[in-house]
Amino acid sequence: MSEGERLYEAWAPAGAEWSRWAKPVLFASAGRLERSVVLPQADVGWVREGAAAIVVDLEGVASVAAGVALAAKGFRPVPLYNGAHGPEAIVDQEPLLAALAAGADALAAQGLRPGAPPAFLLDARRFPARAAAPGKLDNRWMVFPQDLPSANLLLSQGIRRAVAIFDEPMKDDLAHVLRRWQEGGLRIESKPASEGDPPRQIDVPRPSRFRSMWYRALAILGLGRSDAGGFGMRIPIPAPPSSGGGGGFRGGGFFH
């Protein structure tokens, strides 16, 4: 079993209710880890009793640390990190992979029940503003409503509220998810990561192109899709001009 397969099994064990939502692309592209990290302490003292779905939208290592801390509270962390890992990547995934490795044993030790409520983990670094340069691995990614269970499915599991942990402002792609849940009957609460206050109910405004049939297609324009699923494509390097005028590209293709 490869390191990536071992980590994926730790974070998305067979038989767990929410494992089917975990994204495999980052794990599939994991090789030998060159770094190690110590997970920071995450404050989850605000968690109260009652079934809820949690969405963690923090930067890499902090997102994983929150997932491990929530596991100790009885939640099943579900990694939705959907960008590939590789050299010259726009989003450096090595710290995130090291954090997943650091948290794997602690997660296994929790002995979570198969139906534990979910804590969906996002990386707030997923879509940096900088452009993709030739030769770089474009592993920028977005989250879509289809990447998470519907409000109806959550309600069928007795989950009637969702808590989003993020630093202001809420990202547009997350707003599309939470607004759908809100319209589907879930109470939406937010918890700023940098504050000690308990979650508070919010009204998620309708984001641009909400429920548009073109939203997903337009949103992923310019992103590199991976043939292993998720996002991660090497940006082609233009070939130097030739006297024959042939043109073309070199170094293109999908990242494996």
Identify the residue whose tokens are 């939470």: 178
Residue 166 lies in a domain: yes
Residue 56 lies in a domain: yes
| Structural domain count, the chain | 1
Residue-wise pLDDT tens digits, 133-159: 888 999 999 999 999 999 999 999 999
Residue 256 lies in a domain: no
Report pLDDT for 85.
92
Residue 152 lies in a domain: yes
Looking at mean pLDDT, say which of 189-193, 209-213, 237-241 comes out highest: 189-193
The H-assigned helical ranges of 157-254 are 172-183, 215-219
Beta strands in 110-160 (DSSP E): 118-123, 137-138
Tell me how far apart the alpha carbons of residues 240 and 236 are, in angstroms, rounded to a whole number.
Answer: 12
Residue-wise pLDDT tens digits, 192-208: 887 778 899 999 999 99
Please compute the mean of the pLDDT values over residues 52-73 and round it to a whole number: 96
pLDDT confidence tier of residue 253, bands split at 50, 70 and 90: very low
How many C-alpha atoms does 221 have within 13 Å on its Cβ side? 5
Residue 205 lies in a domain: yes
Cross-strand pairs, 79: 121
Range of the domain at 24: 3-250
Residue 69 lies in a domain: yes
Residue 62 lies in a domain: yes
**Percentage of the chain modeled with pLDDT above 70:** 93
Residue 180 lies in a domain: yes
